[in-house]
Structure formats: structure tokens, C-alpha cells
Structure 1
Amino acid sequence: MKILFLVSSMHGGGAERVAATLASAWARRGDEVMLVSCYSGRGHCDQQLDPGVRLVWLADRMGGPTWLRPVSKLWALRRLTREFRPDRVLSFLTNVSVTALLALRGLGLPVVVSERTDPAYGDDVLEPALKWLRRLTYPWALRVAVQTPQSVPHLQKVVPGAKRVAVVANPLPDGLPPARRQEPRTDRCMLAALGRFNSVKQFDRLIEVFAQLADRFPHWDLWIWGDGPERAGYQRRVDALGLQDRIHMPGFSRTPWDDLQRAHGFVLNSRVEGFPNALLEAMALGLPCVAVDCPSGPAELTRNGQDATLVPLGDERALSAALARLMQATPAEREAWGAAAAASVRGRYGLETILKSWDAAWGEDGKNG
């Protein structure tokens, strides 16, 4: 099977990590995989790929003046596709998917496009022209994939013509260590969070909640890994609270699993998610987790609070109570919660399970219908 996989870039984001995991898995099972980064500026690859994956930068095949770049991208992708002659096409992210559907129109290929955020909540960052083009082109796709059942009606609202919708969750990534059996035995305990420093992740509110708990739990610290435009402002707030020795923001982590394994608990306080990879990985590593019930993903991942503590979105009092329960629990209690979470998500989001879902999205033989 020849699979053409289109992404925006291969930088350090969650969608890129999922793309690397899927492309590598298909290559290992014997498929011929071409992974195409459609970012116009070429860029670089921050992800680990199986040697069998052929990585192509579409920018290397584009020519002409800058003002012709959108048209040049369409023709470059169409030529590349004709050369490769794939059996299946998968596209990640709205802008790439619209480009793919326009460029490959009329070639008779089974194209599956995948939204990486919940359409009801990610649309505020899309330009009006891109929304219109998505509405026009998505009905041409064999299927449109979203990451959670909650996203299906949201997609059909913004793209009424998208009748063939598949739900395909993110898989656990390649190389994830086994779930730990025991939390670290240390003098200080670590509450971990991970993500980009922007308003969506609501780290500012998490800092305020932790500040209210800091005196009650003097042996606990909050560590937030990530980077982004709001980080400096958050650091100023931490300094103003006098908690610079208790709240740490060390920047982007290149070893997130190692960092998570040193933690005694994990918290997700996002306003919205497409699919919270950090929560999935923390649960799979055996951490007891607290998550807000934001759209979309935490309810599905935690089985409505069975496998982690789920609190209402925007209820900081409930978040504070849930974190207090985690911090005052015994190590044995936290280990039991983490073990149950790991067993649950490793069974439901294992790579083989998710690959079968993608095969089903194309149809068993990869043909339309």
C-alpha cells in the first residue's frame, strides 16, 4: 500500500508527533509512505521517523514569484502525487486539507482529511476565506476524520456537506516507556502540566489555584513545561506571588516522558482541546491525573471521570478541591489511581487499535465508498 501523508510541518507540536507515529508505524508494517511537509518555508524535522518514511518538503518543488506561491503549491502537490501514485491520501490540519482537496481534485484518489481541533472551538483562529474553502471542499473527501465523538456534530454544523465522518483518536506514541509501578520517593512532590503558553491552556488560572493551595501543601511544587507568547507574563505573576521557588516554568521539554515520570500528579486545565495528548501520555505513564471537562477529549479519555478526576470547565473551586485530594493522598493511593488510568488508556489507544481505525476510514480496500 502506498500512502501519501500531508502535514503542515514537522516541528515539535502534538499533530506533528502523531503524524510521525502513524507514518513510522505504516512504514514498519510494510507500506510505502511519503510524508510531505506543505509548509512554504520548508522548515525542519523535530520528530523521529522510521527510516522507511520518505520525508519530502513541498517547498523544494515550488517555483515562481512569492505572489504566485498559493498556485505554485497546488501544482507542485498535484505533480508530486502523480509521480508517487498513492493508493491512499491522508491530510492533517484544515489549511493543508483544503490545499490537498483542491490540488488532487479529479485524480480519483481516496482522500481522508483530519481536523486536529474541535471545529466548534478552533474556528475563531481560521480566516473567513479558509472557512469558506473548507465548506466547499470537505464534501469532496472520502471521509473527514475528527478525534472525538463530541466533535462530530460540531463539524457537521460548520461543514453541512460533510456526511461521511469518522472518529479516529490519537494513538499512544512510539517509544512510550511502560507505566511506572511506583511514584518517586522524594522530599518534594511535583504537580506537572505541559503545553503551549497561550490563553487556551489557562496556565494563568492554574497558577492562581496552586497559589491558594501552596500554604496547605508546602512540600508540593508546580512544574509547567512549555513555551509561548504568555510565558513571560506568567513568570511575572509568579514572582509577584513570591512563589518562584514553588512554581517552575523551565521551558519547552525535549524529554517530556522523563519529566512526567518524575512527577507525582498531572493536571490539565485547558479551555478547549482537539485531543489532549499530554493527558493521554500522563495517564499511560501511570500518573494520577486531574482534568477539566473541556471540549473535547478529557471526558472520552477518562471515561467520564472513571480513570482520572474530571472537574467542570471554569469551576476553579472544584479544580482546587480535586488537586487538594490528589496532594493529600498517600503514595499508595496515587499509585493505584495511576495504574488504573494506564491500564485503561493503553488498552483503548494502543497503536494497533488506532491503525485499524484509520484503515476503516479509508474502507478495507482503500477505495471510495
Structure 2
Amino acid sequence: MKIRYLLLHAYGQGGTIRTVITQANAMAALGHEVEIASAVRRKDRPRFPVDPRVALVPLADQRAGVPADSLGRKLWRRMRGKIVPFGEFAAEYFTERVERAVIDYVSGLEGGILVTTRPALNLISARRTPKSVICVAQDHMNLGAYPETIRREIARYYGRFDAIVVLTRTNQVEYRILLPGTPIVRIPNAVHATGQVSRQVNPVVVAAGRLVKQKGFDLLIPAFQKAAERHPDWRLRVYGGGPRKAELAALVSELGLEDRVQLMGRTDRLEEKLAEASIYALSSRFEGLPMVMIEAMGHGLPVAAFDCPTGPADVLTSGKDGLLVPPGDVDGLAHALDRLMSDKALRLRMGAAAKRTAGNYEADSVMPLWEDLFAELLSREPINDSYWTR
């Protein structure tokens, strides 16, 4: 079958980019004809490996340069397209030129399957893709995380899709309430299988993600400070880059944690760094499906996490493979970290359970779900809703 994926920036880095490229590579390995279209291109080569059997098609080449963030936002307001609403997290990318390039791409397709991967691209596809194409919208976040401007457009246009694919049961329920009659399918993202498991010998708490407000590292650092008062040998390492690095570094300095909390920046060896740690901390204010958390569980790391919407509670069972605390509860997160730091036997037991849980998200378990969905959609038969509720 012919499968096309449409990403905002296939040459960048981030959880959505990585998981969509992983999915495309897996489909190509299964013998399907696969293409990734990238709305913009700002780098010479993709950050994540793309199977040579996958065609990579950039729509708007911006390697010559783009405006700085502040100017970019002003440029978007003056020259924005007509479909992508204000409030989309990546709205500033969608100048009139970029939006037109995406419209031209989707409107020129014939047959096959198109999978779009964020609200802006989903909305363009819903309004401009020919009816001969099977259209599937992915939501890599969750409905409640979007501002009202986006939810209003979702309610208006997402009913045109042949299926909407979400990552968690919680999000599935929310979409079914909003769009009764539209097939809402739950398929989690796939993680890489790994054989490298933490031996629980290094007193290290690890976290990873973009240094942005969503990830809540400003909450994790004081939680670690409280927990670490009784554990002077423990360290916190945060991997990732982003606009809040200076702010977080100032917080580390203000709390006197320069020797104990490290902002490690980006790394190409995250799997190795996860396996070297003993606890994974997730402090997000909201998530879609926390992929790095699941990868950490695959390395045998127990998790201390906020029970934020959505994701953590859809994956782990508190007390079995990790510890969940109320969203934003710094003292609660500190207590969970303290409990895990204090008990190696508990970490080993929860880590073993976490690895078993992560096995449910490996490609061998997830990719057949995509093949089944695509085959069902191409048959033009009604979606078997009871199957996709499981």
C-alpha cells in the first residue's frame, strides 16, 4: 500500500518526529511504499535515521535562513496563512508560503493513505485533501492541552477524517465525546527494544525533554532538592535543549545545587545515559504519550511522575512499576523520589516490572495495529469500533 506521512519538520528533533520516522521506517521494512513529506526543511540531513526505502520530500526549503523567534512571530501575524489558527503550538511556522506549500501537496495527492501529525497539518488535510485519499489524523498530544481556538477547529473539521488516531485511552474517550460517529482509534507510539538494563548502581535521577514550560523541570529541580536532603550522594541529570535553559540554570544556582543538578544538553547517546541511571523522573504539566519515560522503563528504571494529563497513568501502575503523584505536587514528587532513593530492592522490583510494561510498546506489538487499521480503511468497510477500544 502507498502510505504518506506529513510532518512539520522531518529534519528536526523531538518525540513526534522520532516516532513518525520510526513508524515510516517500519512500514517500509514491511514492504509498503512510504513517503515522508516535511512542511519545512531547515537542516541538510534528518536528525533521525530514515530508511533509504522511504522517500523524503521537503515542501518549503528554509535552509537559507528564517527570522529570529521574535521577528518570526511578527512575520507570521503579517503573512500567516488562512487555515492554521492562532494558538497552534507551531503557528509561527505557517506563513502564507508554508501553508500554501502544504495545501499544494495534499491537494495534489491521488489514492493511498495520508497520515498527518499535528493540528495545523490535520486541519489543512481535512479541508484540502481529495476524497480519493484515505486521511488519518494523529494526535501526539491530548485534546485538553489545546487552547480553545484549536479545539473549536478540531470540532469543526476533524469529523472529515476516515480515522483519528490517539495515543491513550483517556484521549480516546475525550475525542469520542467531541466527535461522536468519527472513528477514534488508540494506537500507542512504538519504542525501540533494548537489552541494556540499569544495574541500579549509580545514584542518578534522570529526566529528558525540551527545556520548555510543558516539561516542568522548574518543578522537578526543587522536588529533587527536597528529596536529596537525605541522600547527599544522589545527582539529577536533565537531558535536552530549549529556550528555558538559562532560567533553569538560574534556578539551580539559586537553590545551591550546582554540584548536584546538571543540565546536560542534547545527547545522541540517550539510551546509554538512561541505562546508567537508577530513577526516571517525569515532571510534565501535560503530555501526549511520554515516550522517553517508556524508553526509560525499557531500561529497567522505576518512574516517579506527576499524574498529568495524559499518558503516565495510561502506561504505568502506581506502586508496581513506578510512583504517581498529583499533578504539580512538588512535595509529592519529592516524597516519591525519596522513597525510591532509599530502597534499592524497591527500585529493582519496580524496574523489572517497568521493563515488562515497556514491552507492550515495542514495534513488534504496535506496527501490526497500524497495518490492520490501514487495511480496514482501504477496504472502505466501517471501522470495528470494539476492536480499537481494547
Instruction: State whether TM-score is above 0.5.
Output: yes
**TM-score tier (shorter):** 0.7 to 0.9
Q: 2:214 aligns with which of 195, 200, 210?
A: 200
1:45 maps to: 46
Q: Whole-Å Cα distance in 1 between the matches of residues 58 and 180 of structure 2?
A: 32
1:246 is aligned to 260
The 1:73–1:340 alpha-carbon spacing in structure 2 relative to 1, beyond 3 Å, is: closer
Residues 1:113 and 2:124 are matched in the alignment: no
* Identity in percent: 28
Which residue type is aligned with residue 96 of structure 1?
L
TM-score calculated relative to the size of structure 2: 0.83
Given candidates 188, 191, 197, the residue that maps to 1:172 is 191
2:363 aligns to what? 351
Q: How far off its partner does 1:242 sit?
A: 1.7
| Cα RMSD for the two superposed structures | 2.3
> Would the aligned equivalents of 2:198 and 2:277 in 1 still touch at CA under 8 Å?
no
CA distance in 2, matches of 1:42, 1:74: 22
Which ranges of structure 1 fall in alignment gaps of 5 or more residues? none
Alignment correspondent of 1:338: 351
2: CA distance between counterparts of 1:234 and 1:103?
A: 42
1:73/1:21 CA distance change after superposition, 3 Å: closer
Q: Deviations over 1:258-277 (max 9, x none)?
A: 11111111111111101101
The residue number in structure 1 matching 2:160 is 140
Matched, 1:98 2:123: yes
Q: Is the 8 A contact 1:138 1:162 kept in 2?
A: no
The alpha-carbon deviation at position 131 of structure 1 amounts to 4.5
Could you say which residue in structure 2 is the equivalent of 1:78? Answer: 107
Cα contact 1:181–1:339 (8 A) shared by 2:
no
Residues 304, 152 of structure 1: alpha-carbon distance in 2 compared, 3 angstrom cutoff: farther
Q: Give me the TM-score of the superposition, normalised by structure 1.
A: 0.87
Cα contact 2:40–2:98 (8 A) shared by 1:
no
CA distance in 2 between counterparts of 1:71 and 1:50 reads 28
Alpha-carbon distance between aligned partners in 1 of 2:249 and 2:215, rounded to the nearest angstrom: 15
For 2:157 and 2:47, locate their aligned partners in 1 and report how far apart those are by CA, in whole Å. 30
Instruction: Output aligned runs, 1:123-138, within 5 Å.
Output: 123-124=146-147, 128=149, 130-138=150-158
Alpha-carbon distance in structure 1 between the residues aligned to 2:50 and 2:243:
29
Q: Distance in 1 between matches of 2:57 and 2:8?
A: 12
Aligned length: 348
Other-structure match for 1:182: 199
Q: 1:292 aligns with which of 296, 306, 321?
A: 306
Is the Cα contact below 8 Å between 1:179 and 1:339 reproduced in 2? no
Conservation of the 8 A alpha-carbon contact between 1:110 and 1:367: no
Q: Structure 1 CA distance, aligned partners of 2:255 and 2:97?
A: 51
Distance 2:42 2:250 in 1: 34
CA distance in 1, matches of 2:291, 2:160: 29
1:317 CA displacement: 2.5
Partner of 1:57: 58
| Partner residue in 1 for 2:88 | none
